[in-house]
Amino acid sequence: MQGMVVAVVPAAGAGTRLGGARPKQFLPLAGRPLLTRTLMVLEQTPQVHAVVVVCPPGGEDETRRTCVEPYGLAKVAAVVPGGAQRQDSVAAGVAAATKLGAKWLVVHDAARPLAKPELFARVLAAAAHTGAAIAAVPAADTIKQAGADDLAEATLDRSRLWLVQTPQVFERGLLERALAQAAKDGYYATDEAGLVERLGEKVKLVMGSRDNIKVTTPEDLALAQGMLGAATRVGQGFDAHRLVQGRRLVLAGVELTHSSGLLGHSDADVATHAVMDALLAAAGLGDIGQMFPDSDPAFAGADSLELLTQVVQRLAREGWRPAQVSLTLLAQRPKISPHYPAMRAKLASALGLEPEAVNLAASTTEGLGFVGREEGMAAWATAVIARS
């Protein structure tokens, strides 16, 4: 295909059927705005050179700030305000794409984050022959036309029916002509191909994918979430601290009476540190050393449970929540098991979990190694996190 290919993504709808106060394109899908997920696919589609996002009027800055800039979407060349109807928004996007020098236009719904780069490639290849091509799937269900009172009026011939999706690809001049004619006639269609068909031009149907759903209801959002990959992840954490005289001994947020305590920049709660590292590992977010540098005086003597709540908030921003934590403490003395219920309650509360989802175990090392010699204590933790 010769010439510049620009995608136009209409995302100007108020669409609040998903139940949120915000338009659906800003709702999180697997931790990122729905619109961002869709733009990420275009970013990975080599045949698309640039992207124009059409947003609610006045929402240009917010769209850039929340959906584009944090995610390194280099192809997004313009964010422009849309109109009252989808067709008006597409026309605004087409005007911006023309300024960029587009030869081919790819119109793609912001609410279809599961379209694959291969689908864009196939529809573009078909459009090179006809000037217009769209993704669609043959109807699998029988389709009836309803009359008054939901009474079936007619059964349509399914063998000739296709359900239309996006992407829809057009030679630029052709879509411009179709939009201009529709504007002149005050005609509105539910897809851009309908406007091109009205001119008597050919539109090729290209086999789309049943996965390429339009996210419209909360059920769609859950389905899309599942299709985007793992709903749970696992991480492990380890920590060790030195035992010294004259320090408090804090383990899993509980202060124990003992002849010595753990040395560290914060309260040196070795158990909570291992849990934080396990959570960060599960989410692929590094470790607590990166999040709370011990060169930072803000964390001197810090309450580790408070840091744990910050880790939970950090995960929430990425779309994850703790689901289960398993902790093993290595300490020669004092006896840990009498403190299990209090430790479990403290950790569970900071994690936002039921105590049953937090397990504690402790072991001595039978006098072996640094733990056995009571030079220090160590902790291992495993965390399971789930999509929030």
Any idea what DSSP says for residue 84? S
- Give a three-class secondary structure readout of 289-315: HHHCCCCCHHHCCCCHHHHHHHHHHHH
Name the segment binding Mg ion (CB under 5 A); options: 28-36, 159-167, 221-229, 237-245. 237-245
The smaller minimum CB distance to Mg ion, of residues 219 and 294, is found at 294
Neighbours of 283 (CB within 10 A): 20
Name the segment binding Mg ion (CB under 5 A); options: 123-131, 179-187, 271-279, 366-374. 271-279
Residue 233 beta carbon to Mg ion: minimum distance, rounded to whole angstroms: 22
Pick from 24, 273, 339, 387 the residue near Mg ion by CB under 5 A.
273
The smaller minimum CB distance to Mg ion, of residues 275 and 282, is found at 275
Residue 280 beta carbon to Mg ion: minimum distance, rounded to whole angstroms: 13
Residue 235 beta carbon to Mg ion: minimum distance, rounded to whole angstroms: 16
The smaller minimum CB distance to Mg ion, of residues 40 and 263, is found at 263
Spell out the residues 6+ positions from residue 14 whose beta carbon is closer than 8 angstroms to its own: 23, 56
CA distances (Å), origin 101, targets 49, 97, 108, 133: 11, 7, 18, 20
In the block, which residue shows the tokens 């697997």? Answer: 30
The smaller minimum CB distance to Mg ion, of residues 118 and 294, is found at 294
The smaller minimum CB distance to Mg ion, of residues 237 and 322, is found at 237
Give me the residues paired with residue 380 across strands.
238, 328
Ranges assigned E (strand) in 176-319: 204-207, 232-244, 249-251, 254-256, 261-262
> Which string of x and - marks every residue 184-223 that binds Mg ion (by CB under 5 A)?
----------------------------------------
What is the C-alpha to C-alpha distance for residues 179 and 130, in angstroms, rounded to an integer? 18
Position closest to Mg ion via CB = 273
The smaller minimum CB distance to Mg ion, of residues 59 and 261, is found at 261
CA atoms within 13 A on the CB side of 352: 15
Name the segment binding Mg ion (CB under 5 A); options: 28-36, 96-104, 272-280, 365-373. 272-280
Name the segment binding Mg ion (CB under 5 A); options: 55-63, 267-275, 309-317, 350-358. 267-275
Residue 297 beta carbon to Mg ion: minimum distance, rounded to whole angstroms: 17
Name the segment binding Mg ion (CB under 5 A); options: 116-124, 151-159, 239-247, 352-360. 239-247
Closest by CA position to 81, among listed 57, 103, 104: 57
**Helix orientation angle between 86-99 and 172-185, rounded to the nearest 10 degrees:** 140
Q: Is 239 in the site for Mg ion (CB under 5 A)?
A: yes
Q: Is 267 in the site for Mg ion (CB under 5 A)?
A: no
For the chain, the straight-line distance linking the first and the last C-alpha, in angstroms and rounded, comes to: 42
Task: Count residues near Mg ion (CB under 5 A).
Answer: 2
Name the segment binding Mg ion (CB under 5 A); options: 226-234, 235-243, 301-309, 331-339. 235-243
Residue 339 beta carbon to Mg ion: minimum distance, rounded to whole angstroms: 19
**Long-range contacts: 267-271, Cβ < 8 Å, 24+?**
267/301, 267/302, 267/303, 267/304, 268/241, 268/304, 269/304, 269/305, 270/239, 270/240, 270/241, 270/329, 270/377, 270/378, 270/379, 271/239, 271/327, 271/329, 271/343, 271/347, 271/379, 271/381
The smaller minimum CB distance to Mg ion, of residues 224 and 268, is found at 268
The smaller minimum CB distance to Mg ion, of residues 171 and 239, is found at 239
The smaller minimum CB distance to Mg ion, of residues 273 and 346, is found at 273
**What residue ranges bind Mg ion (CB under 5 A)?**
239, 273
